[in-house]
Structure 1
């Protein structure tokens, strides 16, 4: 799935056989349930089109109008102000999260490394919408359960084929 510049770096244009986009990932408008795809293979395209037709019989006019309005706002001035705002928000959240975890000996989070982003024409830290949390104590062999006991919602790292089950996604 293509990545938008406010969460991770864009090292170059995407050129995959199948690229899926969603308004919720781009702007946070999850309730709109609107997405689009670039599909290079005509046979795959026909199958996807048929599935969409059978699965939901189209997209409501309300959803289409809301998506159009949101996309117009997001794409003003080539989208730079929107993505800069989103990056700054996510970066601030990551700075606060990193500060909290740096004081803990029980938990740690993944290290992020600066990468060059061709969209912003600068090198900067990625700010993904998730954090890999590691339980550092040997007795905490089910990190998901430890986090859940602390009322932290997450998913077990094994869901994402993490090699070490002490990692969990929050």
Structure 2
């Protein structure tokens, strides 16, 4: 499956505007946005014993020329319970969109969540995750 010609032209126009303005703020904006998203995710998953979020260490950034928090576009979540064999299905039942770890050569005990979304879509994901994790904290088995 490819990207439509129309979408490619839209992206090209957008990139021309960004570059025309110098583009200096694009990378700091992207970094700060992703850093905030990771902080929110870490806070949510820190309340859970059922799920764990990948550990991320700061790394040297060639663009900014310094060590910074690593802020990937995807979050890998592991289902920690022995009985939660297919993490993708657990999240799907909770109406949280992700991709199964097996699709990427990992185990079924992982699900990959995309953080590259509009702010509204990300806020929706966070609301769903909060509800899902709070059920664990409050003692409900699953959705």
TM-score, length of structure 1 as denominator length: 0.59
DSSP-derived class of the 1:89 partner: helix
CA distance in 1: counterparts of 2:28 and 2:109, whole angstroms: 34
CA distance in 1: counterparts of 2:47 and 2:12, whole angstroms: 44
Q: Is 2:112 the partner of 1:169?
A: yes
Q: Indicate the structure (1 or 2) with the bigger Cα radius of gyration.
A: 1
Deviation at 1:68, TM superposition (A): 4.2
Unmatched tracts of structure 1, length 5 or more = 1-23, 25-29, 35-62
Deviation at 1:80, TM superposition (A): 2.7
Which of 131, 135, 142 is the aligned partner of 2:75? Answer: 131
CA distance in 2: counterparts of 1:81 and 1:92, whole angstroms: 17
Q: Is 2:7 the partner of 1:33?
A: yes
CA distance in 2: counterparts of 1:98 and 1:116, whole angstroms: 21
Deviation at 1:94, TM superposition (A): 0.7
Alpha-carbon distance change, 136 to 129 in structure 1, aligned in 2, over 3 angstroms: same
DSSP-derived class of the 2:77 partner: strand
TM-score, length of structure 2 as denominator length: 0.69
The 5-angstrom pairing of residues 9-28 of structure 1 reads none
Which of 13, 16, 19 is the aligned partner of 1:72? Answer: 16
Please give the root-mean-square deviation of Cα atoms over the aligned residues, in Å: 2.1
CA distance in 2: counterparts of 1:31 and 1:125, whole angstroms: 35
CA distance in 2: counterparts of 1:169 and 1:113, whole angstroms: 18
CA distance in 1: counterparts of 2:85 and 2:66, whole angstroms: 40
DSSP-derived class of the 1:132 partner: strand
Unmatched tracts of structure 2, length 5 or more = 114-143
